[in-house]
Amino acid sequence: MWKQYTVITACIAGTTPTSAWLPTFFRSSPSSTTALSVQNIILSPSEDPTTFDSYKIGNARVHRYARDATDSDAEYVMWYHGRSIEMQQDTETRLPPLSTGRIGRATSRNGLIWEKDTVGSVSEDIPGVSLGLNQDAWWSFDVAHCGLGNVLLPMSTPAVLAEGGVYLMYYHGGNFEETPLAEYMPESSAATDVVVQGMKMRIGVAVSQDGVTWGRVEGDDPTGAMVVPFDKKDPNSWENVAVSDMPEELYCAWPDVAVDLRKDTEDDTSKNDEPKSQDSFLMYYSTMLKDTKEKCIAYATSADGFRWKKQGICLRPSDPQDQAGCARCCVFQDASYDAATSTWTPESEWKMLYEGVSPNDGKHRILWAVSQDAKTWSKKGIALDVGADGTWDCGGVGSPHIIRMDDGTERMYYTGQGADGSTSIGVAKLSTENGKQTWIREQASFSFS
């Protein structure tokens, strides 16, 4: 029974079903000893087995900012999610084999050497987490596990934190609702007698005034979520859909929210003197289509960041590198750098970095695409490939996130997976040589003896 369960759920997660997906009471937990010898790792699971991130971590979202325009010392803050050994070894639940569990926080002075916040928010269910499991109601969408989407900061400028603003954390979660694994698998792989919990994931939002303590904002769905899988038979689903050909979904997860800065400069009225829709918030989320079982990226728009209208699928599997699925993206406007003023100016083109799963080896790679309208995307191929055999990220790379630096460079934080299933957060930088841009793994400024 367990063998069947782990192989099938590994396929759902888009990973190669190896011994890494066996329940941990059958094997030792992933070790980070080998990983720490590689110099572009900046965060790994905690060694203390009682912490929320002792088993796996992933989906780092990093912001770099100054407290005011005269502050020369920038501060880096990272939010990420992690799963504990205890949660992974719980024999009474059948959660999908992901790194999701609870959400934590870390800080840094240079973006390379990080210190985890081991205190966390005192209002959460266990120490050391910024957002834990929802304990308010058993029917809530996020009582079993939570995963980070991204965090929007109250910025007065792209580099200066505004005083008295509100942070927005977009995240996804699952509860203990049981669904047949057959719903997520091709008919030839269907296992009608096996169920999984927490797979029907939904998206929510939390707010904070300091980035440390968070309060959930209850959405319109009975579970408290604000974005849920589209179901044609549910009349409530149609209220949040803007297109007639929206396909049915099995889950909504890993939301990435971008703000279209161009909307702020447009006129408030149209040519007919009618109010113009100002849907400045753009959400890109991972989903699986009910009919085809494709793992795709869908998008939705919002005027306030809380009420969303689904606009359809924007990226489907189509190329050899992503034929087995597309997921977990980072979307941002392209920008030009002015060396004289050390500032970035947004351009018209949009870029997307996303995970593509190859059907040949089952490994995740970071791919990229471009768009002029943030709706229709043109794929450009591999941005960051898996590491060489034996390295800490030879099993797969994904969950990219980009920040821009004052010196005109761009840095990528990403999740890497080893051959044994262990995960860590790594860093890469964009290198330009002879007019060609390439992401290369960035050397961190520390070593382990």
Q: Which of 81, 84, 126 is nearest to 105 (CA)?
A: 81
Q: pLDDT of 147-157, one tens digit each?
A: 999 999 875 45
Q: What is the pLDDT of residue 294?
A: 96
pLDDT of residue 276: 44
From residue 116, alpha-carbon distances to 163, 170, 444 in Å are 24, 20, 17
Residue 22 banded pLDDT, cuts 50, 70, 90: very low
Quick check: 187 pLDDT over 80? Answer: no
Q: Exposure of 384 by Cβ count < 10 A (0-12 exposed, 13-18 middle, 19+ buried)?
A: buried
Of 291, 296, 265, 289, residue with least CA distance to 278: 265
Of 28-32, 98-102, 297-301, the one with minimum mean pLDDT is 28-32
Q: What's the pLDDT at 270?
A: 44
What is the rounded CA–CA span in Å between residue 9 and residue 200? 13
Per-residue pLDDT at 37: 42
* pLDDT bucket at 443, cuts 50 / 70 / 90: confident
Please, are residues 303 and 277 in contact by the beta-carbon 8 Å criterion?
A: yes
Could you give the CA distance from residue 393 to residue 425 in angstroms, rounded to a whole number?
Answer: 9
Q: Give the residue from 191, 210, 174 showing the smallest Cα distance to 67.
A: 210
Which segments within 260-388 are labelled E, that is strand?
Answer: 281-289, 295-302, 309-315, 326-338, 343-357, 364-371, 378-384
**Cβ contact 142:131 at 8 Å:** no
Q: For residue range 315-335, list pLDDT tens digits in order.
A: 999 999 999 999 999 999 999
Q: Which of 1-5, 186-190, 278-282, 363-367 has the highest mean pLDDT?
A: 363-367
At residue 264 the predicted structure's pLDDT band, cuts being 50, 70 and 90, is low
Give residue 244's pLDDT: 92
**What percent of the chain lies above the pLDDT cut of 70?**
82
Greatest alpha-carbon pair distance for the chain in Å reads 69
Query: 């999701």: which residue's tokens?
Result: 100
Read off φ and ψ for residue 7, nearest 5 degrees: -65, -45
The confidence band for 342, taking pLDDT boundaries of 50, 70 and 90, is confident
Q: How confident is the model at residue 8 (pLDDT cuts 50, 70, 90)?
A: very low
Q: Are 132 and 113 in contact (CB under 8 A)?
A: no
Confidence of residue 399 (pLDDT cuts 50, 70, 90): very high
Residue 245: how many other CB atoms lie within 10 Å:
7
Per-residue pLDDT band for 190 (boundaries 50, 70, 90) equals low
Instruction: Tell me what the mean pLDDT of segment 401-413 comes to.
Output: 93
Dihedral sign for Cα 39, 43, 47, 53, please. Answer: negative
Q: Is the pLDDT of residue 58 over 50?
A: yes
Share of the chain above pLDDT 90, in %: 68
Higher pLDDT pick, 254 / 184: 254
Q: How many residues does the chain have?
A: 449
Distances (CA, A) of 350 to 59, 294, 381, 414: 21, 24, 16, 20
| Whole-structure pTM value | 0.88
Q: How far is the C-alpha of 206 from the C-alpha of 199, rounded, in Å?
A: 21
Note the pLDDT of residue 166.
Answer: 87
Query: Is 70 exceeded by the pLDDT of residue 113?
Result: yes
pLDDT at res. 36: 41
Residue 311 CA to residue 245 CA, distance in Å, equals 9
Averaged pLDDT for residues 63-69: 72
- What are the structure tokens assigned to 189, written together? 């792989």
Residue 416, pLDDT > 80, answer yes
Predicted pLDDT at 9: 43
Q: Residue 26 — very low, low, confident or very high, per pLDDT cuts 50/70/90?
A: very low
Q: Give residues with Cβ within 8 angstroms of 335, minimum separation 6.
A: 344, 345, 346, 347, 404
Question: What is residue 373's predicted lDDT score, i.e. its pLDDT?
Answer: 95
CA distance 324 to 102: 28
pLDDT band at 277, cuts 50/70/90?
A: low
